[in-house]
Chains A and B, each alone.
Chain A
Amino acid sequence: MSLLRYCIRRIFFALPILFGITLVTFILFHLVGGDPAFLIAGKNASLERVASIRSELGLDRSLLQQYISFVKQTVTFDWGRSWSSQERVMDMFWRGLGPSLSLALPAFLISFLISLGIALLSSYYRGQCFDRGVLIACLALMSFSYLVYIILFQYLFAYKMGLFPITGWDPSWSGRWQYLILPWMISVTVSIGPGVLIYRTAILDESLQGYVRTARAKGLKDTAVYSQHILKNALVPILTIVIMQMPLMITGSLLLESFFGIPGVGGLLIQAIQNADFPVIKAMTVIGSIFYMLFNLLSDLVLTAVDPRIELK
C-alpha cells in the first residue's frame, strides 16, 4: 500500500513542476517571441486580416486569460488544432507515437546491451590495451556530430550501396522494419560511446568495493563475481543513468525521423518548428516533460525494486 501512497505523493509533488513547465513554455512563446498572427498571415496581409487571425487564435485576450486557457488545455490534454494542418494536436501525437516508439525502443535496447557488454569487458581488462582502446574509440565516436553520422550512413549504406531504402515508411508492422534498420544502426553508433564510458565507471566503482575482494577470496570465479556481485550492484547507478539519457534519445529521434521520413512525433515536431506551428510545439513540449517526469518516477520505483536498501519516502 505504501507504494501507491508514494506514487500519489510523487504525482502531487510533480504539480508545481508542471506549473513551472507551462509557465516557461508560455513565457517563451508569448512574451519573447514575435506576434504569431503576422507569421501566419504572411508578409502582404492587411491589418484587418491580421486582426481577424488574432481574435480567431485568441491572441487579442489579456495574457492572463491566455495563460489560463493554456493551463486548461494542459489539464484536459486538449491543445486544439495545428495552425498549419488544422488537425487536432492530440490526434497527430497519437498517430506519431507508434512509429516513434518502433524507432526508439529497439535502438535503445540494442545499444544498452552492447554498451553494457563492452563496459563489462573493458572494466575486466582495466588499464590494459583493450580497455585503453575502448576508451579512445568511445571518445572518438563521441567527437562526430550526430548529423554527420546520419548524412554519411544514409549516403554510404542507402544511396551508394543500396542496402536499405533511403527514406520512406510502411505503416504495416511487417513492412516497417526495412526502413528502420539504418536509423537503428545510427542511433546505436551514436549512443554507444557515452553509454560504455558511463557504465564502465559504474562497474569500476563497484569492482573496488570490499565485498568483491571477499567474493574473490572465497574462491569465486571471475564470471561469477561479475554476474552475481558487481553487475547487480552496478545496476543501481546504471538504471539512473539510463533514465538521464532519455533527452539525448529525443534529440536523436527528432533528427532521424526527419531524415528518414518516419512519420513519428519527432518528425512532426521538426515540421512544427520550421512552420512556427505554436500549438504543436507547445503541446509536444508539455507532453515531453510529462513523459520525462513519469520516467523519473518509474526509475525510482525500479531502483527500490532492485535495491532493498533504498526506501520510498
Chain B
Amino acid sequence: MKSSVLKTHPSLNRLCHNPVALFSALMISLYLALALFSALGWIATDFQTIANDRSYQPPSWEYWFGTDLFGRNVLSRAIHATQTALLVGLFSTTLATVLGLFFGSLAGYFGGRTDDLVVWLYTTIDSIPYILLVSAFAFMLGQGILNLLIALGLTSWIQLCRLVRSEFMKHKAQDYVQAAKALGAGSRRQIFRHILPNVFHIALIQFSLIFVNAIKIEVILSYLGLGVEPGTPSWGMMIDDAKLELHQGVWWNLGAATFFMFFLILSVNLLNDSLRDALDPKWHRPTSSKN
C-alpha cells in the first residue's frame, strides 16, 4: 500500500528519480545515524576524555581532527555536536512549524478579528530585528539546549504563518471547500481534512529553511555567549573557540566544525531545492524551452 503511493504520487515519483534529492537524503540519514550512534555510546565515546599532556595535537591517524586545549578528541566532539545541532534544529523547527501552521490557518480561515489579531502579532514580531529578538529570548531564558530551542522556535514561525495564511484565504473560497461546506462539513473538518493537506507542502519547504537557520543562529548565539552550556559539544562553541586558536596555528577545531556543518546544511539546502521542484507547482518551469 505504502510503496504504491510512493510510486504513483507524481511529486514523490519526481523526488525519487532526482539524484540530487537522493544524495542529500542519504547524507541527512548519515547525520541522523551519527547522532543516534553517538548518543547510544557506540561511536566517539572519548569525547569527554581529558588528557592535558596531549593538548592541541595536530591531526594524525589516531586523531583525525587533532585534539583541543584539554586534549579531547576533536573528531569525537564534532560527532557528538551533531546531536546538539539536530536536537536544536529539529525541535525548534517543529515548534515553529506548529505555531506557523496554527496561527496561519486560524487567521486565513476565520478572517475578521482573528485575522487582525494574528497579523498584528506577526507584524510586531517581524518588525523586531531577528537577531535581537532571538538573543533577547535566549538571554532571558538562560543558557542550555532546551532554552535555546524554545527561543529559536518562538521566533522562527513568522514566514510560514504568513504563507499559510494567504494560501488559506485562497483555498477557502475555492469550489472544493465550498462543496464540503455545503455537504455539512464543520470548520474543523474543512481545515484539517480539506485545506491543510493542500497547503502542507509549504510547511515542508519552510521546514528545511527554518532548520538551516536554527543551526546557523546557534553558532552566532554561541559567540554571544547565549548558546548551549559550556562543555556540551556544539559546532558553535568549536567555531567560537577557534577565533583565539587560529593565531596559534590550531585550525582543526574550526575545520572539523565547519566540515560537519557544511555538509549537513548543504544537504538540507539541496533537498529543499529538490522538494520545491517536486512539490511547488509554481517552480515547474521548462528548462529546455529557451525562447
Contact = CB atoms under 8 A, between A and B. Distances in A.
Interface of A: 16-17, 20-21, 23-25, 28-29, 32-33, 126-127, 135, 139-140, 142-148, 151-152, 155, 159, 204, 208, 213, 216, 247, 250-251, 254-255, 259, 269-270, 273-274, 276, 281, 284-285, 288-289, 292-293
A28 B140 contact: yes
A269 B139 CA distance: 13
Given A28-B136, A143-B263, 17 more contacts: A17-B123, A20-B121, A21-B124, A21-B128, A24-B128, A32-B140, A32-B141, A33-B139, A127-B287, A127-B288, A145-B235, A151-B239, A151-B246, A247-B129, A250-B130, A255-B223, A288-B128
Contact of B128 (A270, A273, A289): A289
B136 A139 contact: no
Q: Of B127, B236, B247, B290, which is in contact with the most chain A CB atoms at under 10 Å from its CB?
A: B127
Interface residues of B, number: 48
A288 B129 contact: yes
Interface in B121-177: 121, 123-125, 127-133, 135-137, 139-141
A24 B124 contact: yes
Contacts of A146: 216, 219-220
Contacts of A292: 127-129
Nearest to B20: A136
A17 B131 contact: no
Contacts of A270: 224
B59 interface: no
Q: Of A127, A213, A273, A293, which is in contact with the most chain B CB atoms at under 10 Å from its CB?
A: A273
Contacts of B220: 145-147, 251, 255
Contact of A21 (B127, B131, B141, B270): B127
B243 interface: yes
Interface in B62-92: none
A208 B285 CA distance: 8
Contact of A251 (B131, B236, B246): B131
11 contacts: A20-B123, A23-B124, A139-B273, A142-B269, A148-B239, A208-B285, A255-B220, A269-B132, A274-B224, A276-B139, A285-B136
Nearest to A166: B247
Contacts of B128: 21, 24-25, 285, 288-289, 292
9 closest A-B pairs by CB: A20-B124, A127-B287, A32-B140, A143-B265, A251-B131, A143-B266, A288-B129, A289-B127, A33-B140
Q: Of B139, B254, B288, which is in contact with the most chain A CB atoms at under 10 Å from its CB?
A: B139
A247 B127 CA distance: 9
B222 to A, nearest CB: 8
A255 B222 CA distance: 12
Given A151-B239, A151-B243, A140 B261 contact: no
Contacts of B223: 147, 255
Contact of B258 (A17, A145, A289): A145
Contact of B224 (A33, A135, A139, A273): A273
A155 B269 CA distance: 28
Nearest to A155: B246
Interface in B221-280: 223-226, 235-236, 239-240, 242-243, 246-247, 254, 258, 261-263, 265-266, 269-270, 273
A288 B124 contact: no
B131 A29 contact: no
Contacts of A250: 129-132
B127 A293 contact: yes
B291 interface: yes
